[in-house]
Structure 1
Amino acid sequence: MKTLTHDAKLNLIVLDMAGTTVADGGLVEQAFSDAAGRLGVEPGSADHAEKLDYVRATMGESKISVFRHLFGGESRAQQANTAFEEAYGRLVDSGLIAPVPGAREAIERLRGEGRTVVLSTGFARTTQDAILRALGWQGLADLTLCPADAGGRGRPYPDMVLAAFLRTGAVDSVQKVAVAGDTLYDMLSGVRAGAGVVAGVLTGAHDKDQLTRSGATHVIGSVAELPDLIARAEA
């Protein structure tokens, strides 16, 4: 387990959205099926099952990266990504998402302690904004980031964490950053950014073993436990 230096206050917290702070009830899979159908992938076919398995395995990765792998050329990947974002947006607008229990309270507590909180996602900005509107979370965090805000590279690259570090100016060292997410891609992103705490949560796609193998410094039941974890890490 990584040990922080005595003065390393964790004053920048970078949180994933879907699966970590937001429960979307499997909307990613529903939206993918809709998008794949629009690109000619027949529902129930072996091709559809194989592609869906890949989507499940890569939860947390930037969605455009997933579609580049699945559909080859950039044009088809962009077409699939647009169809996916449109489908996901429709599902969000139907009221099929909710906060992970205790997530809002955890964010409010962290900010109340003087920490800067950033919400990050592998979705496009339009979808991220739709989720925030649906939850009434506009202004809940200090900053929200999607891959386009970090030069286009999402997880497992460290770019969004580093963009949060640079844009907020909240801390003077990446060791004073805490990252939390539900997927191995969140863990890899945090580790590659040099974050002092990389916390896996068990409310989303990947289990404790997957999170730990990918570099989690801590694994907790949910983001609701994060403020206490940070307090302990600083003690």
Structure 2
Amino acid sequence: MITLAVFDMAGTTIDDGGAVYRALEDAVTETGVAVAPADLQEWMGTEKRAAITALIGLGGGDATVPGLVEATFDRFREILAERYAAAPPTPIPGVTEAITELRANGVRVALTTGFSRDVASGILTELGWHVDDSSVAGAAPTLAIDALVCGDEVAAGRPAPHMIHRAMERTGTIDVAEVLVAGDTAVDVLAGAHSGAAHSIGVLTGKLDRAEFPAAATAVLASVAQVPAYLAAGELA
């Protein structure tokens, strides 16, 4: 029985029009290196300072230059804020309803992200989403979740399993056999597999095609919106 669902944010539960991809690419390019599309895809979903470090190196730059990674990270946040101001992120169709249904059926829902806490919290505030044990300033919340875990809160981001395990800790979940993980990138799926979760699902709301997900994926669904039906079908099987 699944008692915890752990979902990625951008591209999985939230549609940002690819703003994270472009902001990361632009920030790294501004350091004077080129960013290959394959490298960008490989590092999407990871903690953003780690991604910046890797992409600078892959582009032939020197990420060990004092202050370069942090300055690039700050620039990434600036560009992302500008893009979000111009085109605010929105929930992926059906996801709000799916999360509400899961929680109504006793499944806790946690979000994980490679964003820092301040960026992720700001996105949730804009959406009117909130963590169930905290308050959100501004408009009345439209959706509650049970936990938020960010890339700057663990020793290593995806594909390491630490954010998933931290989500378990924050929701009081003790058995990985009761955990379902879903995300739109390869590292989302690998993190789920590394965590020992019962299900590590790829979703097609990001940039990957079905065949591009790693073999570790226990299923590939069109969207997180299909997760309640997926679980129901499993229980009936």
Q: TM-score w.r.t. structure 1 length?
A: 0.86
SS in 2 for 1:48: coil
Partner of 2:50: 65
1:87 Cα deviation after fit: 1.7
1:21 Cα deviation after fit: 0.5
For the pair 1:177 / 2:179, whether they are aligned, the reply is yes
> 1:91 and 1:172, CA in 2 relative to 1: closer, same or farther beyond 3 A?
same
SS in 2 for 1:138: strand
Partner of 1:48: 34
Q: Give, in whole Å, the separation in 1 of the partners of 2:5 and 2:35.
A: 36
- Unaligned stretches of 5+ residues in structure 2: 57-62, 132-143
For the pair 1:221 / 2:225, whether they are aligned, the reply is no
1:83 Cα deviation after fit: 1.2
Deviation string, structure 1 residues 63-95 (Cα, Å, up to 9, x no partner):
111111123216312221121122212322334
What's the RMSD between the two structures over aligned residues? 1.7
Partner of 1:162: 165
Q: Give, in whole Å, the separation in 2 of the partners of 1:29 and 1:217.
A: 26
SS in 1 for 2:5: strand
Q: Which has the higher contact order (CA 8 A, sep 6+)?
A: 1
Q: Give, in whole Å, the separation in 1 of the partners of 2:235 and 2:174.
A: 16
Q: TM-score w.r.t. structure 2 length?
A: 0.85
Task: Tell me the matched-pair count.
Answer: 217
1:56 Cα deviation after fit: 2.7
For the pair 1:150 / 2:151, whether they are aligned, the reply is no
Partner of 2:103: 111
Q: 188, 211, 214: which is aligned to 2:213?
A: 211
SS in 1 for 2:109: strand
Q: 183, 195, 212: which is aligned to 1:193?
A: 195
Note if contact 1:89-1:130 (Cα within 8 Å) is conserved in structure 2: no
Q: Give, in whole Å, the separation in 1 of the partners of 2:76 and 2:30.
A: 9
Q: Give, in whole Å, the separation in 2 of the partners of 1:59 and 1:166.
A: 25
